[in-house]
Amino acid sequence: MKLYYAPGACSLSPHIVARELGINVELKKVNTKDKSIEGGGDFWQVNPKGYVPALELDSGERLTEGPAIVQYLADQKPDAGLAPKNGSIERYRLQEWLNFLTSEIHKQFSPLFKPNTPEEYKKIAKENLASRFQWLDKELAGKDYLMGKPFTVADAYLFVLTSWTKPTQIDLSQWPNLQAFNKRVAARPKVKEAMQAEGLIPKDQPSR
């Protein structure tokens, strides 16, 4: 499979999920500004919506939309437990989280990354995010991950979104449970591997 990604973008979530599952994906780096693909190619031809992530299956079929991609990946290795069984109430809980993250958090961040967003609107988006983070912080009290003990695909997504507080100058320490969550996920070996592969953190020095 091929995963079209941009470093540190929401595509980091399916990248982490693939590594957590031990699924090998060929990484295809996309320049989301000019829609070029590293090594050649026009990303518009891959995803006519023009955004990452996009997953190309071995059949050549392509899947877009992060929440759908992470569930597809998790369902390839159901025993890994990154998504509860299809049809179970827990699976709907996971989808409840994914929908919340994509509509209430991810899409509030998007204008903060756009150079043409008016400053007054950025302020409003940050206020909206703060109220969502306030609620999430309470939800995470006493929990390792969104669904309790198990790490799920929703946690990979929330990790990426909470990491975006840094480039957008939002102080995550206002929400200690969220900050602890971000650190907990960042410490997972497969998360570190994904971040290193995207050039977001330095590669480990070989021990002598």
Ligand X SMILES: N[C@@H](CCC(=O)N[C@@H](CS)C(=O)NCC(=O)O)C(=O)O
Which of 146/160 has CB closer to ligand X?
160
Which of 53/84 has CB closer to ligand X?
53
- Is 163 a residue that touches ligand X (CB under 6 A)? no
Size, binding site for ligand X by CB under 6 A = 12
* Cβ atoms of residues 164 and 105 within 8 Å: no
* Cβ atoms of residues 70 and 146 within 8 Å: no
Binding marks (x or -) toward ligand X, 89..118, rule CB under 6 A? -------------x-------x--------
| Residue 176: alpha-carbon gap to chain centroid | 20
- Is 144 a residue that touches ligand X (CB under 6 A)? no
* Cβ atoms of residues 170 and 118 within 8 Å: no
Which of 2/144 has CB closer to ligand X?
2
Strand order in the sheet with 26-31: 36-37, 26-31, 2-5, 54-56, 62-64
- Is 66 a residue that touches ligand X (CB under 6 A)? yes
- Is 14 a residue that touches ligand X (CB under 6 A)? no
Tell me which residue has its CB nearest to ligand X.
Answer: 51
Q: Considering only residues 26 through 55, tell me which ones interact with ligand X, judged by CB under 6 A.
A: 32, 50-53
CA distances in angstroms from 38 to 5, 29, 47, 62, 128, listed in the order given: 10, 5, 15, 18, 35
Q: In whole angstroms, what is the distance from residue 26 CA to residue 197 CA?
A: 11
Which of 10/94 has CB closer to ligand X?
10
Cis peptide before 53 (omega within 30 of 0): yes
Which of 27/180 has CB closer to ligand X?
27
Q: Considering only residues 166 through 185, tell me which ones interact with ligand X, judged by CB under 6 A.
A: none
Which residues of the shown chain bind ligand X in the complex (CB under 6 A)?
A: 6, 9-10, 32, 50-53, 65-66, 102, 110
